[in-house]
Structure 1
Amino acid sequence: MTTTSKVQCTKCAKNAGITTCDGCLAKFCSRCFIVHRQDLSKELDNVVYEHDILKQELEMPNKNNSHHSLKQIDEWKKDSVDKINQLADQCRTDIVRLLDKNKNQLTDSFRKISNRVRKGRDDEDYDERDLSKWMTELKELKDELIQPSNFRIEEDKHRPPWIQKIRVTEEFHNQAKVEDGKW
């Protein structure tokens, strides 16, 4: 007489494994097999839930400013504007300093012209050439006050861009084929 040994249930190891799961190839007793199927059913519920969430997101219209990529562009814009504002503030400070310096020089030149005009008037020692010269000097001072010649604003074309450009590129990937299924 031949004896065969019974295979035990892989879950409880108490009862004989009478059923094999085709998915995980484990042997189960009838009680553990029912529990195993209930666990699989819960996992299927999770898959269906994730499916429904993704379906809902795919069916919703794109919302402005909600996608991560749009937020990334907004962050780049904010950082770039911050850099521009910092540079503009620095340039304004430099211009105010140079304007003050220029104004001091112009004030000194104006004082000298004023002294010559006053002396010419007081001494009644002037003619058309002096009047023309003083008028030309005053006009030059006024022009220098309006458009100083001791500085200018220019773009630095020899340095790499301070603000990095960004661009959107489309990438092509082989998408995994999704088998048709019923949902």
Structure 2
Amino acid sequence: MCEGCSSKLCRACYNDHHQQLSKELDQFVYEHDMLKQQLETPNENEPHHLLKQIDEWKKDSINKINQLADQCQADVNQLLDKNKDQLINKFRKITNEARKGQKDDDYDERDLKMWMTQLKELKDELIKQSNICIAVDKQQSAWIKRIKVQEASPQQGNAEDSK
């Protein structure tokens, strides 16, 4: 009689039954040893998939920041060039008026005072450089998604895997 399954067996059947149990025990020992090896072996060559996911998020976020920074720098350069062109045009206008007045000998104190005032204003604008500033868009929703790490219940873990 087998005490495990309570079956009444003859000696031959009992030996076969015991041999089958022995094979199942061997399979158990094999799976046990494989799991033990996995638990004891460091995973240095293969980073955890969650770490890979965080690295991808990091790369994506850095790329977005770099793209925005490049665009903002291009915008600043464009506006600085525009302001400089405007200053050069004002300077040329003052220069042309002063030279014409000098050439034609057609100027007086009022013209000199006006040209000096315009020249001073131009210097001040050049020193001030521009009316460009950087504004933070507070209305923008999260442009870069914030992530956080947390423990999930078994149901959450399975739900996340199926997404």
- Alignment-derived partner of residue 3 in structure 1: none
In structure 1, the residue matched to 2:54 is 73
For residue 85 of structure 1, what is the aligned residue in structure 2? 66
1:39 aligns with 2:23: yes
Cross-structure match for 1:49? 33
Q: 2:83 corresponds to which residue?
A: 102
Once the two structures are superposed, what CA deviation does each residue of 1:14-51 show, in whole Å capped at 9, x if it has no partner? xxxxx648269797824632541342133122232134
Listed as ranges, the gaps of 5+ residues in structure 2 are 155-163
Give the counterpart letter for 2:98 in structure 1. V
The amino acid across from 2:72 in the alignment is C
Count of matched residue positions in the alignment of Structure 1 and Structure 2? 148
Structure 1 pair 165/26, CA: closer, same or farther in 2 (3 Å)? Answer: farther
Gaps of 5+ in 1: 1-18, 174-183
**TM-score with structure 2 setting the length:** 0.66
1:117 touches 1:134 (CA, 8 Å); kept in 2?
no
Whole-angstrom CA distance in 2 between matches of 1:129 and 1:24: 119
SS at match of 2:149: coil
User: Equivalent residue for 1:166?
Assistant: 147
- What are the equivalent positions in structure 2 for 1:1-183 lying under 5 Å apart? 20=2, 22=4, 29-30=13-14, 32-57=16-41, 66-122=47-103, 123=105, 125=107, 127=109, 129-130=113-114, 132-143=116-127, 146=129, 148-149=130-131, 151-170=132-151
Higher relative contact order (CA closer than 8 Å, sequence separation 6+)? 2
- Whole-angstrom distance in 1 between the partners of 2:50 and 2:149: 9
Query: Which amino acid in 1 is paired with 2:77?
Result: V
Superposition deviation, residue 53 in structure 1: 2.0
Q: CA offsets, 1:67-117, max 9 Å, x none?
A: 443333222211110111121222233333333333332222121122123
Closer, same or farther: CA 35–157 of 1 in aligned 2, 3 Å: same
Q: CA deviation at 1:121?
A: 4.1
Larger Rg: 1
Higher helix share: 2
2: CA distance, partners of 1:160 / 1:23: 65
Q: RMSD of aligned C-alpha atoms?
A: 3.6
Aligned letter for 2:107? D
1:29 partner SS: helix
Secondary structure of the residue that 1:142 maps to in structure 2?
helix
Q: What is the distance in 1 between the residues matched to 2:147 and 2:85? A: 45
